[in-house]
Amino acid sequence: MNLGLEGRVALIAAGSRGLGFASARALAREGASVALFSRTQAAAEAAARKLADETGVRALGFAADVTVAADVSRAVEWTAARLGRLDVLVTNAGGPPPGTFRTVDDAAWQRAFELNLLSAVRLIRAALPHLEQSGRGRIILLSSITVKQPIDVLILSNSVRIGVAGLSKSLSAELAGARITVNQVCPGRIATDRVRELDEARARTTGASIEEVRRATEQAIPLARYGDPDEFGAVVAFLASEQAAYITGATIQVDGGATRGVY
């Protein structure tokens, strides 16, 4: 299927590894030019070089921190200036640390808010004029299945990401007149560094090995395995495509069936 992404320009936040990189790679494989950023210049440039070598598209990498307002604005303007336009925005950030209500303090709540919700607000605000000019803009927010089914010991993610879901749904109606679609993609257990860190945290808490934690987790997933990052990236690329022009306001989980709710 030709997704119609040739000539389009995408900006991916936190795109040097994990689900951000998988999203960037999926878009690049479909012919989109991509700009990605992370907190480390070397990591961002290395990821961009890898994409360019793999796909032949133009790929740029630079340093920016999603929790710094000036960095976010600079990332958007730099992308539009270097690549000539901006059509697709993928908001993304690392998840907040594990914890329970009794173990996280005010500072941790504030960091989680700035990392996972305010960063998306700032990115969308900065990108909006360019997405309006595109005439077929796409905003894709990377979140978590915690918006549909809270996960034990992830009180920060369970709470703050609900705000991302509300933002996504609200914007889908507000921006529809500008032909901008807004959708949220929620990973379950995808084999990334972040998931390994969560498995390690659970292993420390329970006394089990990481392998035992993973096997137990896989048993609770109907498809009985962790997802591949490229499987997640494929959903992002589809939502950015022409074929997805009538999909907006959706929250789509990529979780092997782990979410048990009907909606």
220 within some domain: no
Long-range contacts, 69-73 (Cβ 8 Å, 24+): 69/122, 72/119, 72/122, 72/123, 72/126, 73/122, 73/126
Sheet of strand 59-63, all strands in order from the earlier edge strand to the far edge: 59-63, 33-38, 9-12, 88-91, 138-142, 181-187, 251-254
214 within some domain: no
Domain count, the chain: 1
- Residue 193 is predicted with a pLDDT of 87
Q: Per residue in 227-253, pLDDT tens?
A: 999 999 999 999 999 999 999 999 999
pTM for the structure as a whole: 0.95
Domain that holds residue 118: 9-190+227-254
1 within some domain: no
**What does 129-180 look like in DSSP terms, one character per residue?**
HHHHHHSS-EEEEE--GGGTS--TTBHHHHHHHHHHHHHHHHHHHHTGGGT-
Q: Per residue in 12-49, pLDDT tens?
A: 999 999 999 999 999 999 999 999 999 999 999 999 99
- Residue 262 is predicted with a pLDDT of 85
211 within some domain: no
143 within some domain: yes
Among 251, 92, 87, CA closest to 179:
87
DSSP 8-class letter at 94: P
Average pLDDT value for residue range 172-184 = 98
24 within some domain: yes
Q: Give the torsion sign (CA, 234, 162, 100, 151).
A: negative
| 54 — pLDDT class (breaks 50, 70, 90) | very high
Cα–Cα distance between 48 and 50 in angstroms, integer? 5
Cα–Cα distance between 47 and 27 in angstroms, integer? 14
- Residue 130 is predicted with a pLDDT of 98
199 within some domain: no
80 within some domain: yes
How far is the CA of 134 from the CAs of 128, 139, 199, in angstroms?
10, 12, 41
CATH number of the domain that residue 136 is part of = 3.40.50.720
- Residue 1 is predicted with a pLDDT of 72
Q: Per residue in 189-218, pLDDT tens?
A: 999 988 888 889 888 988 999 999 999 999
